[in-house]
Amino acid sequence: MNEERHDEERRPLVEDYLGTRARVYGTERAILVGVDLQGHNARLLVELESLADTAGIPTLATVVQNRFRPDGATFIGKGKTEEVRAAAEELGADVVIFNNDLSPGQGRNLEEALGRKVIDRTQLILDIFAQRAATKEAKLQVELAQLRYLLPRLRGWGEALTHAGAGIGTRGPGETKLEIDRNKVTRRIHAIEKRLRAASEERAVRRKLRGKSDLPQVALVGYTNSGKSTLLNQLAGADAFVEDKLFATLDTLVRRGPVAAGRDVLFIDTVGFIRDLPHQLVPAFAATLEAARYADLVLHVVDVASPSAAGDCRAVEETLEKEVFSKGEERPPILNVLNKIDVAAEFATLGFQGVAISAREGSHLDALRERVASLVYSGDRELVLLVPHVALRSLPFLRAKDRVEVLDYVSDGARVRGRFSNEEVAAVQAVGGEITSAPSASEEA
C-alpha cells in the first residue's frame, strides 16, 4: 500500500488534457489578447508584452477588444475568439496569453475553441516567479501560489468525481484520478504552509537581530523595473542583480551603507510591485511587505521615464495601503525617489514631489543621502560633551573621526564636539560624562 501511494505521489498532476497548461516555455510563441473595459487604454498590452519577454516568450501579435463587460463563456465572445484562432493558425502561435484573469470554465472553453494552450496574466506572473525565485522560501511561496491557483482548475476527463454520501462502493479504491490529484495538491499545500510558518518565525528573529544593531532600516520599494537594485548598488556598494526586465529581483537583500559622516543605515531591497497584483502572489511578497512595514523609512523609487509613471506610482501606493499597513497603525515616513532623470528631462511636469536622481549615472545621490539622514537621524543634536578618558575607549561612536572632533583634553577627560543622538548622550552620561554646551536658539534657527 505504501509503495502504491509513493508511486501515486510521483505521478504527474492532471491539469487538463494538454497537461502543461500552467507553464510557458522558451520554445513557445504567443499571441497576446486584452479586453479594454474602459475603451480608452491604448497601452493595454504593453506591460503584458514585457511580462512575456521576461518569461522568454516572443510575441507574434496582439489583439485588443473593447467591451462593456466580459463574455461569460469565452471572455472575448464568439466572433473575437474565431479571429484569434485564425491569427494563431496563420502565425503558428503555440500559446494565447490573456491580459485578464480567466475563470476555469473560460480557460477550458477557449482552449477547446482555439485548439492551443491558453493562460492568463496571473499564470504568466506565477511562471516568471517560478523561473526567478532563488531562495528556498521564495520557491516555496511561489509553489504555494501555483498550487492554490491550480486546485480549482483541476478537471477530469471521463469518470465523474465521486462525492461523499454518493452510495456504497463509491469511495476508497473507487476514487477517480482527479480526486487523487486533488488530495495530493491539498496535502502539498498543507506541508508548504507549515514550512512557511517556520520561515516567518525565522524572519521575525532576524528582524529583531537587525533591530539590536541600532542602525535604522530603510526599505526600497517601487514598481517592478523602477531601478531599486541599481540604487542599492550605488548607495551600499552592493552586488544586487540588475536587468532591464520585470521582476529582475525577487529576493529581499539587506546591505549597510553610509548616509552621513559616521552615520550608516541598513538598506533593504525588495521585489517590485505590479499593477493589479494577483491575490495569490501576496504571500510571495511576505518578506518585502514586512520590510516596508517595520522600516524606519520607506524609499519609494519612481521611474519617471516610464509613460505610465503616474499609474505605476498609484499601484505601489495602493499595494502599501491594502497589503502592508494596518488601519490606525503607526507608519514609517515615505520619501519619493524620482529615478531615471537622465532619460526623462521633463519629469518635473508630472507633478511628482521628492528627490530627483539617476541611479544609473550616480547623480544627485549625495542629496538623497542627506535627506535620508535628516529623516532617520532627526534626533541628532550638535553638542559639546565632556567625556571621561575611559569613555573615549569604551564608546565606539566617540572614535569616529569623521563625525567627532576632539577640542581639547582636561584633567577629567576630553571635550568633544559633534552631532549625537539622545541614546549616545545617555551613554556618555552613564559613564560620568556631561553636556557642556549646545548651540544657541539663534544658531539652531
Cβ proximity of 373 and 263 under 8 Å: yes
For residue 208, pLDDT over 80 is answered with no
Domain spanning 213-376: which superfamily? P-loop containing nucleotide triphosphate hydrolases (3.40.50.300)
Q: Residue 90 has what pLDDT?
A: 95
Question: What mean pLDDT comes out for the span 193-219?
Answer: 75
Backbone φ, ψ for residue 96 (5° rounding) = -115, 125
The architecture in CATH of the region 381-444 reads 2-Layer Sandwich (3.30)
Residue 16 three-state SS = coil
170 Cβ partners below 8 Å, 6+ apart?
162, 163
Determine the length of the chain: 445
Lowest pLDDT segment from 53-67, 187-201, 361-375: 187-201
Residue 300 three-state SS = strand
Cβ proximity of 61 and 31 under 8 Å: yes
- Please state, for a pLDDT cut of 70, what percent of the chain lies above it: 76
Here the contacts of 306-315 (C-beta below 8 Å, separation 24 or greater) are: 306/223, 306/226, 306/340, 307/43, 308/43, 308/46, 308/47, 309/347, 309/350, 309/352, 310/350, 311/275, 312/223, 312/226, 312/275, 313/223, 313/352, 315/223, 315/273, 315/274, 315/275, 315/276, 315/277
In tens, the pLDDT along 280-301 reads 677 666 667 778 888 899 999 9
202 Cβ partners below 8 Å, 6+ apart?
none
For residue 5, pLDDT over 50 is answered with no
Range picked from 10-24, 249-263, 290-304, 427-441 for highest mean pLDDT: 290-304
Q: Residue 441 has what pLDDT?
A: 44
For residue 394, pLDDT over 80 is answered with no
Q: Residue 162 has what pLDDT?
A: 38
Question: What mean pLDDT comes out for the span 425-441?
Answer: 77
Q: Residue 87 has what pLDDT?
A: 95
Q: Residue 412 has what pLDDT?
A: 83
For residue 17, pLDDT over 60 is answered with no
Domain with CATH 3.40.50.300 in the chain: 213-376
Distances (CA, A) of 411 to 330, 388, 405, 408, 415: 47, 9, 18, 10, 11
Domain with CATH 3.30.70 in the chain: 381-444
- Categorize the per-residue pLDDT at 145 as very low, low, confident or very high, splitting at 50, 70 and 90: confident
Q: Residue 40 has what pLDDT?
A: 54
Alpha-carbon distance 331 to 316, whole Å? 15
Closest among 157, 370, 151 to 265, alpha carbons compared: 370
Neighbours of 128 (CB within 10 A): 22
Q: For 224-380, where are the alpha helices, taking DSSP H only?
A: 228-236, 286-293, 309-319, 365-376
In tens, the pLDDT along 322-381 reads 888 877 778 899 999 999 888 876 655 466 788 999 999 999 999 999 999 989 988 888
Closest among 353, 317, 17 to 154, alpha carbons compared: 17
In tens, the pLDDT along 308-333 reads 888 889 989 988 888 888 777 788 99
- Categorize the per-residue pLDDT at 138 as very low, low, confident or very high, splitting at 50, 70 and 90: confident
Lowest pLDDT segment from 188-197, 270-279, 292-301, 381-390: 270-279
In tens, the pLDDT along 216-259 reads 899 999 998 888 989 998 998 866 555 555 665 556 778 889 88
Q: What is the DSSP string of 58-79?
A: -EEEEEEEE-SS-BTTTBSHHH
Element (H, E) at 427: helix 422-430
- Categorize the per-residue pLDDT at 111 as very low, low, confident or very high, splitting at 50, 70 and 90: confident
What's the mean per-residue pLDDT of the chain?
Answer: 78
Q: Residue 165 has what pLDDT?
A: 39
In tens, the pLDDT along 75-106 reads 999 999 999 999 999 999 999 999 988 888 89
Q: Residue 428 has what pLDDT?
A: 87
Question: What mean pLDDT comes out for the span 386-397?
Answer: 82
CATH of 13-129, one of 3.40.50.720, 1.10.1040.10, 3.40.50.11060, 3.30.460.80: 3.40.50.11060
Cβ proximity of 91 and 60 under 8 Å: yes
Question: What mean pLDDT comes out for the span 33-43?
Answer: 74
Q: Residue 299 has what pLDDT?
A: 96
**C-alpha cell of 173?**
479504491
